[in-house]
Structure 1
Amino acid sequence: MLCPFAPRPISLSAYGIGPLWPCLAKRRKRESRRTMRSCRWPWTQQRRRTQPMTAAPMDRIGIIGAGRVAQALALGLAPHASAPPMLWARSSERLQTALANASTGAAAPSMTALVRESDVVAIAVSDDAMEAVAAEVAAALPAKPPRLIFHVSGRSGVSLLADAAAKGALTAAIHPAMTFTGNPVAEVQRMSGACFAITGSAPAATVQARRLVAWLGGAAIEIPEQHRPLYHAALCHAANHLVTLIAGASHALERAGVEHPGALLAPLVRAALDNSLSDGFAALSGPLLRGDAQTIEGHRDAIASDCPRLLPAYDAMAAATLDELARQGVSGERSALHELLVSPPFASR
């Protein structure tokens, strides 16, 4: 005898199916609906499978130049265009070398052809050649200009492309804040995650510049037109002068008998760099922070005796460090250090 509270079986004998418990009936009903959805309109699924892929963001990018940046741009932007990038340079030999290094692209027969057949034009030449090339690009513009014309100079803004903008082109300055060594594959990887300084001639140009940086995997940072020279000076001071600083320290270590100065400096310099990037000037340590005039005097005497060419840079950096300590209000008596830096070292007296 069944319990009076137990669920009763459902009879589907009219459909040739025996009694089912309610839960089993519901499960079979769900499965039946899924089957009907999957096979009711087979042409719908076929239509979804044959939908065309999204079109490439641009038809073709044209790059004027055959240097390291031009090669990296060609390789990095090629996947985002429906046609291979087009390159042009005054030297056909350098152009062929660039195409071989980038492993992509085609040579344009002329600058005019490149400008008229590309919907994005990049000017990647040296700063000294930039103005002349920009004028030639403006002269070659068709009635319907490319959607964006940009250059990669760090120091210059969009005023360099004023003639092109006057003809209706959107223009921008897009500078990757990184070094290029001539390995396009490695540099495309490094551009992904790098910062790019952008300056647009109009809001629409800035939008296009941001989009291009995003295609390269980078992060766009807007720099006002009037501050481009200051921005570039800061990068050169940080990166280029760092190389000079390490070269001077390495030379002094060689004079001190160290066979591999780079290996000795690497852990110290990398830690100082990481700390300064994360903590700013608070990462400073050493005798200048402590106000240790006797140690600084010993440094200057040794440098003047054994590595005199390093002394001007050492004194200049020490003076700059003392000035920054004063600006930041770091406590300590350092008047003796200031006097020391303006006096000749013992070795030269």
Structure 2
Amino acid sequence: MWRSLASNMLTVLIAVLFLLGGLILWGKSQYTAEGPLETAICLRVERGSNMARVSRDLEDQGAVASGTIFRLGAKYSEKTGQLKAGSFLVEPGSSMEEIIDRVTTSGASTCGTEIVYRVGVTRTNTVVRELDPATSTFEEKAEFILGEDEVPAAYTETRQEADTRYRIALAEGVTSWQVVEALKSIDVLEGDPGERPGEGLLAPDSYEVTPGTARAAVLGEMQQRQQLRINAAWEGRAADAAVASPEEMLILASIIEKETGIAGERGLVASVFTNRLNRGMRLQTDPTVIYGVTKGEGVLGRGLRQSELRKATPWNTYVIEGLPPTPIANPGMASLEAAVNPETTDYVFFVADGTGGHAFAETLDEHNRNVAKWREIEAQQQNN
């Protein structure tokens, strides 16, 4: 009898173990399988939250089929205590495992509301916007000019939210003075920026910051990125590049940057300056004259005077031979590459064509005809 009972108990135990093993395998497959979410959501994890609250939120939004499996998966992967506060984009079909990784790997928000400080050539615009996860597009909530406009309530309210993201977007062609002055006015940053970096040594790019980030640290990161770009562009230079050093490349790139904002023209503009340098012609470019007047501190805000075009300054390329002594702005990667890998042309002239681009010419006669066309366009624009 005891032998029969023991045999039956053993059979039951084996069955239970098989069932338990099957349950574990099923749970694991559910944990790693594609999730039920059909439309992307922005999962907000508050400070002091826990996996239980997160799992309930995910269940309510239809992102996970079982909050219990979600919590067990976090526990057995030893990530329960690694939950980060923030707003996280959960894409359609995300598995529980992928969601766990997203909310425990980094505290950097990937959706929700962000404030972008756009440092431009003429002003710094502050934009408050929120990502719509369903369409992956941003909805603008407020925009104002930093230091000029009244600060809108949306900005103040968003600044008080713990999971707000902050970015500084540096435009191509800004001067180092403009960057430093903009950083001084951005209220989420702290500390003295220190000595102004040399012209051209800051990388136009997007920089993620958090409240309390040191201004000097932001400038340091901008310089590090630009140096990497300078090194990469110089390493990939053409054998017959007209510039003899990374410093000269940076100067030429800054002139290209200020002459055109059209990506497809950079190589053509670079070819004009390369041909002029190779032929011993003066560069004769207005942005260098403007820099000689302003030293990069502010915007000229008017046309150049004939006296300024004739006045000798270290940057006036109508007067000096070759390149000016320093860059005149901070160029982007495309302009750096164009400076040492220009398109192959015989162009030595260009002028605005009225469409936002330029008309290029190989001869002075052709250039004069292009200039006459531009004068006609200017006159028409003034009369309208």
Common fold: TM-score over 0.5: no
Higher radius of gyration, 1 or 2: 1
Structure with the bigger percentage of helix: 1
Highest relative contact order (Cα 8 Å, sep 6+), 1 or 2? 2
TM-score normalized by structure 1? 0.26
TM-score, length-scaled by structure 2: 0.25
